[in-house]
């Protein structure tokens, strides 16, 4: 007698393949759900594998267009970043995957959803908070928090042995025991030898990008066109142009990958309170975000940018990282992104070369915040030089008071 139907977020990898077999052992009927979110995956092989293990059905949902237009491009607009380094590649994908999984669960009559997130990571929070927002009455089966599961499978060694017993083919081996997660925005590498933060990642670990030392010796120039902060065209040096959002992102990925752009290696603070070491390749997002930041310098009002950078960007990034996408506060913050981008229209010329990005120039035919004659040292345009004296005098009022108070105490300001 089946305990009921469960929709499992299935990746085809070690963890979820073992979880699929375990759920079947526990008496559940399993629908294997998979999202095509731009990962390099043999989806037909994943389908065959899920059905071979015993899934009742395999459902693949293509969410790439929604991922780019609804999540990745807004992340470019807001320059999303966590702890000044991480471009949130994993976090960005979770709301899209969760939404598609809940839709499949409802279509297939599943009473519960399941995932392969560990009990120490961020993704369990991201997925489950999204599940509960999208379908408040859903039940969640989290094997890595179930004693029946985690006492049986203490680590990846046990998973690999179980997979061998069940004839489940896996790509992860004891020689390369790191865990990966891939989507159109990035790939992450964690666990195994990477848990020592002083261990240098082996060269053959990196998957998406060419090693910068092996990248072409000739720089590659390109142009990105933005309208209201959104990339609307990517033009390569050979004249090839891309205007469809998904094609723009794919082309940006390819450009960055072949030039070794987009690698990071960090120790970050997980929402759950644990520090963890992660290695990430985020090629296309690095290209588009860097170009966007540069164009804002030319086209975005100083005070608008200050407010956005002080509140909107860090708040949105933290909410996204912590899995709070489907919340009233994130809905509110997301609503602030587009209004800040009304003037971010123009063209950025850039160069990719051996792991680096170089801005060659930027221009805008619609925004006039920059006036070359005003900023010129060779022209008296905009205001007379003596007018700066009054500006300095007003700014100096409180600073003089500060200096006087220090001297009255018999002290001197020091470096």
Helix axes 89-107, 313-321, angle to 10 degrees: 50
Q: Give domain limits for the chain.
A: 5-172, 180-300+343-363, 372-409
- Report the CATH fold assignment for 5-172: Rossmann fold (3.40.50)
Closest of 105, 111, 123 to residue 61, by C-alpha: 105
Place of tokens 């293509």: 62
- Exposed, middle or buried, 275 (CB in 10 Å: 0-12/13-18/19+)? exposed
Map tokens 């598609």 to a residue. 100
User: What are the angstrom distances between the C-alpha of 121 and each of 269, 322, 411?
Assistant: 10, 11, 52
* Tokens, residue 210: 């060419």
Among residues 76, 136, 43, 4, the alpha carbon closest in space to that of 313 is found at: 76
**Alpha carbon 40 to chain centroid, angstroms:** 17
Residues with catalytic function: 15, 94, 123, 179
Whole-number Å distance between alpha carbons of 319 and 315: 6
Helix (H, G, I), strand (E, B) or coil at 382: coil
Which helix H or strand E contains 115, and what residues bound it? none
Distance from C-alpha of 97 to C-alpha of 67, rounded to nearest angstrom: 9
Both tokens of 404, joined, read: 């006087």
pLDDT tens sequence across 193-220: 899 999 999 999 999 999 999 999 999 9
Q: What pLDDT is attached to residue 355?
A: 97
CA-to-CA separations, 20 to 6, 13, 196, 280, in angstroms, rounded: 10, 11, 30, 27
Q: Can you state the percent helix, strand and coil of the chain, rounding each to 5?
A: 45, 20, 35
From the CB of residue 27, how many other CB atoms can be counted at a distance below 10 Å? 10
**Side-chain half-sphere of 369: how many Cα atoms within 13 Å?**
19
| CATH value of 180-300+343-363 in 3.90.1260.10, 3.40.50.360, 3.40.1280.10, 3.30.365.10 | 3.90.1260.10
Nearest to 229, CA basis, from 161, 158, 313, 150: 313
From 180, 142, 133, 173, select the one nearest 157 (Cα to Cα): 173
Q: Cβ atoms within 10 A of the Cβ of 115, count?
A: 28
Q: Is the whole-model pTM more than 0.75? A: yes
Q: How far is it, in rounded angstroms, from Cα 371 to Cα 118?
A: 54
CA distance 262 to 357: 9
Six-digit token string for 66:
């929604």
Q: How far is the C-alpha of 96 from the C-alpha of 62, rounded, in Å?
A: 10
Identify the segments of the chain with pLDDT beneath 70.
171-177, 372-383
- Concatenated DSSP letters for 329-345? HHHHHHTTTGGGGTT--
- How high is the pLDDT of residue 375? 60
The C-alpha atoms of residue 243 and residue 230 are separated, in whole angstroms, by 11
Nearest in space to 154 (alpha carbons), one of 144, 165, 169: 144
Contacts for 3 with CB less than 8 Å, ≥ 6 apart: 26, 27, 28
Strands (E), 37-184: 57-62, 112-114, 139-141, 179-182
Q: Which of 254, 202, 224, 218 is nearest to 38 (CA)?
A: 254
């Amino acid at each position: 007698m089946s305990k009921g139907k469960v929709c499992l977020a299935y990746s085809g990898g070690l963890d979820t393949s073992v979880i699929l077999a375990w759920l079947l052992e526990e008496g559940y009927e399993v629908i294997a759900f998979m999202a095509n979110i731009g990962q390099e995956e043999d989806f037909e092989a994943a389908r065959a594998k899920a059905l071979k293990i015993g899934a009742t059905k395999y459902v693949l949902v293509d969410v790439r267009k929604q991922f780019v237009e609804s999540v990745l491009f807004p992340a470019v607009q807001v320059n999303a970043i966590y702890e000044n380094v991480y471009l949130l590649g994993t976090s960005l994908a979770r709301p899209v995957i969760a939404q598609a999984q809940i839709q499949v669960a409802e279509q297939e009559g599943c009473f519960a959803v399941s995932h392969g997130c560990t009990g120490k990571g961020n993704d369990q929070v991201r997925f489950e908070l999204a599940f509960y927002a999208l379908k408040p009455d859903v039940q969640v089966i989290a094997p890595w928090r179930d004693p029946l599961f985690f006492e049986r499978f203490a680590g990846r060694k046990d998973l690999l042995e179980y997979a061998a017993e069940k004839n489940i083919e896996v790509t992860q081996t004891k020689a390369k025991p790191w865990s990966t997660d891939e989507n159109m925005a990035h790939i992450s590498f964690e666990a195994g030898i990477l848990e020592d933060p002083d261990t240098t990642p082996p060269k053959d670990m990196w998957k998406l990008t060419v090693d910068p030392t092996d990248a072409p010796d000739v720089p590659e120039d390109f142009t990105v066109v933005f309208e209201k902060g959104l990339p609307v065209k990517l033009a390569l040096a050979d004249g090839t142009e891309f205007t469809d959002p998904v094609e723009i992102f794919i082309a940006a990925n390819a450009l960055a990958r072949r030039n070794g752009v987009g690698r990071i290696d960090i120790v970050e603070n997980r929402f759950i309170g644990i520090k963890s070491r992660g290695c990430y390749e985020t090629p296309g997002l690095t290209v588009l975000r860097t170009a966007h930041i540069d164009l804002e310098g030319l086209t975005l009002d100083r005070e608008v940018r200050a407010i956005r950078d002080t509140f909107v960007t860090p708040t949105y990034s933290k909410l996204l990282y912590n899995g709070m996408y489907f919340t009233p506060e994130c809905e509110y913050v997301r609503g602030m992104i587009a209004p800040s981008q009304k003037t971010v229209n123009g063209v950025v010329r850039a160069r990719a070369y051996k792991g680096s990005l170089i801005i060659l120039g930027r221009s805008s035919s619609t925004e006039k915040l920059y006036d070359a004659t005003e900023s010129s040292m060779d022209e008296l345009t905009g205001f007379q030089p003596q007018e700066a004296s009054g500006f300095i005098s007003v700014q100096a009022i409180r600073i003089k008071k500060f200096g006087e108070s220090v001297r009255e105490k018999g002290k001197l300001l020091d470096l």
